[in-house]
């Protein structure tokens, strides 16, 4: 279950709780997120991982306690490692940091050609 939570957050860039709310309300479909319906997690416990610059780099999940506690544990673990467990608001990121992050991504892409 934790792996499915991690994958779902990695695909969507959102906590599994938020993705579930969006999908179950009919606002979006699983297909838009690339999530296999058999692996969809309709409750909390998965969080995306963002850098301080706002770059989405993956997801992590925890599944041992109640869904709410799972979410709190994994968010705390992500943040203890110096990352963000939610997408930062654009106004919270200085433009210079965004530009630096974009340069790093472009360089990595060029290096991988």
Q: Where are the domains of the chain?
A: 2-111
Per-residue model confidence as pLDDT tens digits over 90-113: 776 667 777 788 888 888 888 886
Per-residue model confidence as pLDDT tens digits over 4-54: 999 999 999 999 999 999 999 999 888 888 888 999 999 999 999 999 888
Global confidence as pTM: 0.78
In the predicted model, what is the mean pLDDT of residues 66-71? 97
**Half-sphere CA count of 109, side-chain side, radius 13 A:** 6
In whole angstroms, what is the distance from residue 20 CA to residue 112 CA? 35
CATH class as words, domain 2-111? alpha beta
29: region left, alpha or beta (phi > 0 left; psi from -120 to 50 alpha) = beta
Tokens representing 99? 């530009």
Distance of CA 20 to the CA centre of its chain: 13
């Amino acid at each position: 279950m934790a792996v499915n939570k991690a994958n779902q957050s990695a695909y969507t860039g959102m906590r599994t709780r938020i993705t579930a709310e969006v999908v179950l309300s009919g606002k979006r479909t699983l297909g838009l997120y690339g999530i296999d319906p058999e692996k969809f997690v309709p409750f909390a416990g998965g969080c995306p991982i963002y850098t301080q610059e706002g770059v989405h780099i993956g997801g992590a999940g925890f599944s041992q306690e109640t869904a709410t506690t799972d979410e709190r544990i994994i968010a705390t673990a992500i943040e203890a490692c110096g990352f963000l467990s939610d997408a930062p608001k654009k106004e919270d990121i200085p433009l210079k940091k965004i530009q630096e992050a974009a340069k790093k991504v472009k360089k990595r892409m060029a290096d991988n050609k």
